[in-house]
């Protein structure tokens, strides 16, 4: 099922239309103000030779960026429910999980961090994560207010994700949009892209 949630000039293709020889990166974006960097992140990932990108967004994340600036297919909770009408229909979060060679959550806000650490899957994004093939890399980029980052439960939840085998791309210290200064800002886009590149050879050999 296609929606208008796709960048200007980008062909509306289904997952089945993807070229098998390409390396598939699924970018999941949550409701942190750092989601405003999504257009830049997708653009830089697409500059990696042989990489194909799709995006899964939460409803709150879409508040921070213009979906018309995203030049790839963007999937929402609405797509999950509209795709499935009867028993024989595909389930979107399973199809996305099968399609992707690497899952990148950037940014990962405090709310979704808590959900993933607790096994909650109440939207398309968290369902993809819960169904993720753990033989394939999952990278996450925390992003939240400094006070939220410093709360003791945050370190515990980050540790839980790393115990699952997920890879943290650490947040950085800077002056945040809210005016606070300290740790909690999402890693720079160049850092994120460079980290993704490190996983291309090993991930591309996975079934």
- Rounded alpha-carbon distances, angstroms, from residue 1 to 12, 74, 96, 139: 10, 12, 13, 27
Longest dimension (CA), the chain: 51
Across 5-29, b (16+ Cβ under 10 Å) vs e yields bbbeeeeeeebeeeeeeebbbbbbb
Complete DSSP assignment for 24-40: EEEEEE-SSGGGGGHHH
The residue from 10, 43, 141, 178 that is catalytic is 178
Residues in Cβ contact with 47 at an 8 Å cutoff, skipping those fewer than 6 apart: none
Residue appearing with tokens 């994700």: 161
Instruction: Tell me, yes or no, if 178 is annotated catalytic.
Output: yes
Q: Which positions are catalytic?
A: 178
């Amino acid at each position: 099922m296609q929606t208008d949630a796709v960048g200007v000039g980008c062909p509306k293709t289904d997952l089945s239309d993807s070229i098998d020889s390409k390396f598939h990166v699924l970018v999941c974006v949550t409701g942190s103000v750092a989601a405003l960097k999504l257009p830049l992140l997708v653009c830089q990932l697409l500059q990696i030779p042989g990489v194909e990108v799709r995006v899964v967004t939460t409803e709150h994340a879409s508040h921070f960026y213009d979906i018309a600036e995203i030049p790839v297919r963007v999937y929402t909770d609405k797509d999950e429910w509209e795709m499935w009408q009867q028993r024989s229909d595909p389930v979107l979060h399973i199809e996305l999980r099968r399609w992707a060679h690497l899952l990148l959550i950037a940014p990962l806000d405090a709310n979704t961090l808590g959900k993933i650490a607790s096994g909650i899957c109440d939207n398309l994004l968290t369902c993809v994560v819960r169904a993720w093939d753990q033989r394939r890399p999952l990278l996450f980029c925390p992003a939240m207010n400094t006070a939220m980052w410093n709360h003791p439960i945050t370190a515990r939840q980050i540790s839980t994700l790393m115990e699952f085998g997920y890879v943290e791309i650490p947040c950085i210290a800077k002056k945040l949009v809210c005016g606070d200064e300290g740790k909690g800002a999402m890693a720079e886009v160049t850092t994120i892209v460079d980290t993704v590149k490190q996983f291309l050879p090993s991930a591309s050999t996975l079934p």
